[in-house]
Chains A and B, each alone.
Chain A
């Protein structure tokens, strides 16, 4: 028997900000969940199971907080799963929830991811010394900057490409009411003049630290038929992992990312992603990861990704819009960031993305990665249900 098709029928986000001092952790997640239920016109009683994800528990200082959140998420008496796959967790969480529907274990599942980073300092939380391991050095930026430098040297990309990505994403964020950063006076010159943090990554080319949550209601074919608004259909989804460090690892374009994309494209029948996919929400915490992932995901040949960025292809009105929502560069509640990518992809094919809607977006990719460029989760969603 084939898998049950999976549909996204409800999406909810909080307005992402630096610090949500007005709500508890429970209040934050409930706000997003409530909005997703409202979007689907469902109540807590319609939910069969809850799948929650977030990045390290140290970010809020609560061990396995899902135990405490069971009440707030209406999970009492229901199954509740907690996923943690580093930065990719928001995507992985959605995929674990989708599998519950695909396997016909449950009909309708609430999935949610969050981070309340104002409860601690994420950069230093990520910099704990580990015996016999290479130190991460001042947060994720210190880890990833050499990989960006390697990409620049390998591809011969001009130094300015990173600033173009940041300038685009921050302008896209102005069209997304939920985005954290709304820099109305942003200019390319300001991005390029911002302080250098981890050479070659400038302050304006890095993600912010956000409080936020994102939730989705996933359901089966019968649930989708009852949905008040157009569903987004999952056409393919996959996770891939590889070790953090090993001889021969390609940190610029990891094999796990290529394999993950290939699996999704195979499931969805995508022969040429550049032609067959209309837009992408990808996990770009540092600007240069846009051209890097364009290559890793097969949208450009190796060494050519920066040309798509430079020529405006990835702009909101370009031929392959990337991070229409403003992306991770504008909003980064770490554990939720992957799910926001997945949810924004679904919003696009549902035609519900508002001011940052891409016209005729029929098939959109959501992408997340985490750890030392080693955990990948992706899904492709479409306006039409899967044919097979």
Chain B
């Protein structure tokens, strides 16, 4: 089914270490209003709504049900939810638009990491029988990956520090970033990763609007057409994976058509500096490609929204005429277990 679908609007919160004065709905509502405002659409005009969030971050079952209050789901709406990063909610919405059942979709996601100890919370994401009882957290697992890269000669600590410095320098131009400018690289968090190699922990939300065909051109001067989008998962057990590579990201990129022509920009969801090294290799990004002009996840990493933000940031560059062909990437799970790649293009200028 050859239906052209584009990202036509994107909005995000200012990401912060804590948003304890706001509920999730209060955090989300301004973003929803902003993204709808960009297109002039109202909730009732939207054909399909899909969101991504995690009960474990919120600390309660069915946490996403209350977010519907922010959407204003009355009269009733056609709606779905994934317990995944919002990038996968966008994927579900994309398939819905492909079927022709809807012409527009609202996609949003949010995550508040501040209510609990995020490193402990994320350990609950690991194999519950054999690994989770050891409470290995995301930083420790990323450090294993970083050490594997160093051992393989793919990077070294100064190179990782340079990734961190470049990302936070670029983030000075991003008003939503949580960590920007000159940031001390700090002590070892888990060797070989220093605090500067790790993402800031924070709260945030993001939303995009998708539209199909002519509807997209009506709603946006330069739509960011989704030329391809695909996602792949790898085995969960770290012992059976080569942590220096990301075959799932490479396969997703291939299926999304990323290798057919070079991209000018890539927004990578690499929460740890070492993961940018893995992704650059897997996605065949050479030095001519601008990587993470937003500052990426090292500048703001609201869990469950950070992947959708990569797609939104890439789309916004296309909207503004600052990119003609951009790659957006999202990840989930320990050490880049699951990866999504989208290729966005603007009409020729």
Contacts and interface: CB of A to CB of B under 8 A. Distances in A.
Answer yes or no: are A and B bound together in one complex: yes
23 contacts: A25-B128, A58-B60, A62-B124, A63-B125, A67-B236, A71-B237, A76-B235, A77-B232, A77-B251, A78-B232, A81-B82, A83-B80, A83-B81, A83-B92, A96-B92, A103-B95, A104-B1, A104-B98, A130-B60, A240-B76, A241-B77, A242-B73, A255-B75
Q: For the complex of A and B, list the 7 residue pairs with the smallest distance between their C-beta atoms, beginning with the closest.
A: A56-B61, A256-B76, A103-B98, A241-B79, A63-B56, A84-B83, A63-B124
A96 B75 contact: no
A3 interface: yes
Given A78-B233, A372-B65, A68 B128 contact: yes
Nearest to A248: B74
Contacts of B135: none
A128 B332 contact: no
SS of A interface (majority): loop
Given A67-B333, A242-B75, 17 more contacts: A3-B99, A57-B55, A59-B61, A67-B233, A68-B128, A70-B235, A71-B236, A71-B237, A77-B233, A82-B88, A85-B80, A86-B62, A104-B98, A130-B66, A241-B76, A241-B79, A255-B76
Interface of B: 1-2, 23, 49, 54-56, 59-62, 64-66, 68-69, 73-84, 88, 91-92, 95-96, 98-100, 121-122, 124-129, 132, 230-237, 247-248, 251, 332-334, 337-338
Given A56-B62, A128-B60, A243 B73 contact: yes
Contact of A63 (B54, B74, B96): B54
Contacts of A86: 62, 65
B83 to A, nearest CB: 4
Contacts of B237: 71
Nearest to B127: A68
A147 B234 CA distance: 45
A241 B61 CA distance: 17
B233 A79 contact: yes
A365 to B, nearest CB: 18
Contacts of A102: 99
Interface string A124-136: 0110101111000
Given A63-B124, A77-B251, A83-B82, A126 B61 contact: yes
Interface in A160-177: none
A227 interface: no
Contacts of A64: 54, 56, 83-84, 125, 332-333
B2 to A, nearest CB: 7
A79 B233 CA distance: 6
A71 to B, nearest CB: 5
A132 B26 CA distance: 13
Contact of B68 (A126, A244, A259): A244
Interface in A81-105: 81-86, 92, 95-96, 99-100, 102-105
A374 interface: yes
B68 to A, nearest CB: 5
A60 to B, nearest CB: 7
Nearest to B333: A67
B54 to A, nearest CB: 7
Most buried by A among B49, B65, B124: B65
B74 A246 contact: yes
B61 A125 contact: yes
Given A79-B230, A80-B233, A103-B99, A244 B65 contact: yes
A371 B66 CA distance: 10
Contacts of B91: 81
Contacts of B82: 81-84
A63 B68 contact: no
Contacts of A132: 23
Contacts of B334: 67
Contacts of A70: 233-236, 337-338
